[in-house]
């Protein structure tokens, strides 16, 4: 019996659910018909009433959870909306997009409908999880009268939305002076910081009238937001001298730093705002403040960017010239690095330390030489710069000029008694660099200046071998004429200058060395002659020349191979027959 009763109950429940589902399906068309009719721009209220009387549910939701009242509010159908409310429509229903009928009405500029909804009891603080609240939307549209009504119904005047905006901040940003005043008079917190303070926003947007209003109502002139951006910083950022003056007169702190450690003066200088820099300095901005990350001063940033007039202003207001930043660079070094000759001249005359080394041992003249700034090099030398102070890697200005290919700078340094025998940490002399980098004129000038031609290279080779390997015939001749030993043998591989010349592929160099008396058949450490090396590298013309002047073809290397065995070029092999 119990089993029978349970089965019967289950069957009845199933039939009941089935009939309900069938009923919903049959009625769904009438619900959608209601929404479809309301969506029309010329919706007829008599048709609406008839559909509702025929059983349409006024709270039926479409795919986005919009009810008929949402659509009436969206389309601006005031009379229809009133009827829907009388028919039981939910006035505070929130759809999938976080809109209520009220916010729909305000957003779509249906003021009268919005008023009606408020008076009928619409919650002015819904939806809770959205920045699209009635108060914010009314501010956005500039509806002062509607704002008064919304506020009178208890709207949260200091609500901070998901975008970190308060109603007051929104009104300030949209430059609505009357609404700003209305909100303040209604109790908006003038110093509530969400994104930034209302005063900072007004300064950022260049809204002078709102700045004045906020200050008159008690806004804190030094209030900063999460980024530490004060109203004065915002005004400076926008180069608005009028607002800057207003804020300074109101007691703005000229030396507040933002979260990155940047001062207002530093920002102004970096933007090359000469007149505002002058104003800030006259009002007492601190020229000693340094940027937090790199410890640059305002003078450094001006010198680095070539702002001569601002450099002069800062120095006039006692900006220290010899101060260093995180990398031990001075303003003079930064001006030099960026080729600002006039600033270099000005700072030098103001007793800048002309030989100050930074953390890498660089001086202004070493940087000028490396960059190839000849006029700055000339001026610094004329002003007493020491041209032989090496960097930490022992490279002098002359090394740097040659390495970078600045021949005119290198020549000028040589003519002004640069140390031509200085050796870097890598064992490089200026002459080696000139030869290795094929700087023919500089090499000739160094040789003429009596640079030592018998020094070893960083690879422990005689210098003449580098010239031979590079194929620099003129340099080679200069070295030999200056006393370099053309017969020298490299110590480790026992290579002769002729061996090195083979790898240059320059037949004229090979011919010169042969005519200079270098032994054709002298062997290297592995028993190879010049002919072996020419065959290995498949240099037909050089092989042909060596054979023509009597190179020994019978010499075998340590692997018992003749020169002919080392080439895969059939044309070269024919030369041996």
Side-chain-side CA neighbours of 172 within 13 Å: the count stands at 31
- Contact assessment for residue 277 and residue 267, using Cβ atoms and an 8 Å cutoff: no
Q: Is the dihedral of CA 347, 348, 349, 351 positive or negative?
A: positive
Q: What's the confidence (pLDDT) of residue 118?
A: 97
Q: What's the confidence (pLDDT) of residue 253?
A: 96
- Contact assessment for residue 52 and residue 58, using Cβ atoms and an 8 Å cutoff: yes
Hunting for tokens 């008396």 — which residue is that?
517
Taking CA atoms, 39 is separated from 28, 93, 106, in Å, by 17, 18, 17
Q: Of 244, 239, 188, which Cα lies nearest the Cα of 211?
A: 244
Q: Of 314, 309, 316, 252, which Cα lies nearest the Cα of 289?
A: 314
List of residues 6+ apart from 470 with CB closer than 8 A? 435, 436, 438, 504
Three-state DSSP class for residue 290: strand
Both structure tokens of 518:
């270098």
Both structure tokens of 549:
């002047």
Q: What's the confidence (pLDDT) of residue 201?
A: 95
Q: Could you give all domains of the chain from N- to C-terminal order, each with its CATH number? A: 36-156 (1.25.40.20), 474-577 (1.25.40.20)
Q: Give me the tens of pLDDT residue by residue for the chain, a chain 577 residues long.
A: 333 333 443 443 344 344 333 434 444 588 899 999 999 999 999 999 999 999 999 999 999 999 999 999 999 999 999 999 999 999 999 999 999 999 999 999 999 999 999 999 999 999 886 668 999 999 999 999 999 999 999 999 999 988 889 999 999 999 999 999 999 999 999 999 988 899 999 999 999 999 999 999 999 999 987 778 899 999 999 899 999 999 999 999 999 988 888 999 999 999 999 999 999 999 999 999 998 888 999 999 999 999 999 999 999 999 999 999 999 999 999 999 999 999 999 999 999 999 999 999 999 999 999 999 999 999 999 999 999 999 999 999 999 999 999 999 999 999 999 999 999 999 999 999 999 999 999 999 999 999 999 888 888 889 999 999 999 999 999 999 999 999 999 988 999 999 999 999 999 999 999 999 999 999 999 999 999 999 999 999 999 999 999 999 999 999 999 999 999 999 999 999 8
List of residues 6+ apart from 403 with CB closer than 8 A? 370, 395, 433, 437
Q: Determine whether 134 is exposed, middle or buried from the number of CB atoms within 10 Å of its CB (0-12, 13-18, 19+).
A: buried
- Contact assessment for residue 526 and residue 558, using Cβ atoms and an 8 Å cutoff: yes
Both structure tokens of 436:
């290795």
Both structure tokens of 79:
């009379």
């Amino acid at each position: 019996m119990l089993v029978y009763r349970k089965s019967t109950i289950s069957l009845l429940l199933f039939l009941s659910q089935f009939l309900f589902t069938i009923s919903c399906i049959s009625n769904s068309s009438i619900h959608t018909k209601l929404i479809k009719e309301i969506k029309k721009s010329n919706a007829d209220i008599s048709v609406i009433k008839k559909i509702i009387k025929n059983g349409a549910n006024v709270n039926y939701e479409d795919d986005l959870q919009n009810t008929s009242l949402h659509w009436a509010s969206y389309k601006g159908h005031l009379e229809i909306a009133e009827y829907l409310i009388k028919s039981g429509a939910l006035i505070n229903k929130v759809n999938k997009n976080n809109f209520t009928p009220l916010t729909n009405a305000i957003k779509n500029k249906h003021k009268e409908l919005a008023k009606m909804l408020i008076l009928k009891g619409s919650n002015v603080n819904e939806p809770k999880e959205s920045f699209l609240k009635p108060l914010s939307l009314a501010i956005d549209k500039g509806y002062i009268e509607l704002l008064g009504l919304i506020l009178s119904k208890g709207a949260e005047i200091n609500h901070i939305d998901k975008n970190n905006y308060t109603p007051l901040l929104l009104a300030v940003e949209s430059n609505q002076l009357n609404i700003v005043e209305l909100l303040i008079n209604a109790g908006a917190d003038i110093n509530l910081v969400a994104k930034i303070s209302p005063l900072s926003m007004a300064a950022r947007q260049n809204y002078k009238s709102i700045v004045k209003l906020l200050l008159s109502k008690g806004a804190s002139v030094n209030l900063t937001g999460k980024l530490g951006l004060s109203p004065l910083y915002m005004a400076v950022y926008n180069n608005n001298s009028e607002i800057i003056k207003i804020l300074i007169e109101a007691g703005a702190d000229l030396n507040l730093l933002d979260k990155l450690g940047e001062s207002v003066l530093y920002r102004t200088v970096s933007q090359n705002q000469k007149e505002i820099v002058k104003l800030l300095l006259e009002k007492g901005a601190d020229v000693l403040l340094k940027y937090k990350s790199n410890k640059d001063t305002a003078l450094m940033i001006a010198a680095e960017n070539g702002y001569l007039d601002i450099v002069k202003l800062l120095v006039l207001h006692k900006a220290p010239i010899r101060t260093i930043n995180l990398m031990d660079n001075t303003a003079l070094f930064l001006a030099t690095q960026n080729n600002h000759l006039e600033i270099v001249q000005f700072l030098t005359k103001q007793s800048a330390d002309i030989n100050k080394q930074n953390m890498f041992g660089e001086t202004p003249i070493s940087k000028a030489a490396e960059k190839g700034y000849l006029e700055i090099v000339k001026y610094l030398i004329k002003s007493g710069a020491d041209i032989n102070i090496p960097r930490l890697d022992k490279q002098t200005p002359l090394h740097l000029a040659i390495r970078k290919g600045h021949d005119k700078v290198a020549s000028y340094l040589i003519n002004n008694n640069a140390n031509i025998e200085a050796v870097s940490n890598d064992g490089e002399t200026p002459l080696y660099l000139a030869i290795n980098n094929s700087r023919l004129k500089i090499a000739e000038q160094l040789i003429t200046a009596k640079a030592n031609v018998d020094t070893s290279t960083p690879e422990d080779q005689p210098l003449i071998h580098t010239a031979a390997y590079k194929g620099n015939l003129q340099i080679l001749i200069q070295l030999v004429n200056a006393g370099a030993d053309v017969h020298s043998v490299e110590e480790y591989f026992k290579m002769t200058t002729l061996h090195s010349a083979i790898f240059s592929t320059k037949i004229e160099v090979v011919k010169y060395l042969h005519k200079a008396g270098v032994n054709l058949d002298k062997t290297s450490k592995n028993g190879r002659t010049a002919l072996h090396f020419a065959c290995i590298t498949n240099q037909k013309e050089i092989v042909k020349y060596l054979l023509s002047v009597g190179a020994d073809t019978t010499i075998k290397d340590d692997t018992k191979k003749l020169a002919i065995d080392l080439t895969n070029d059939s044309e070269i092999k024919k030369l041996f027959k």
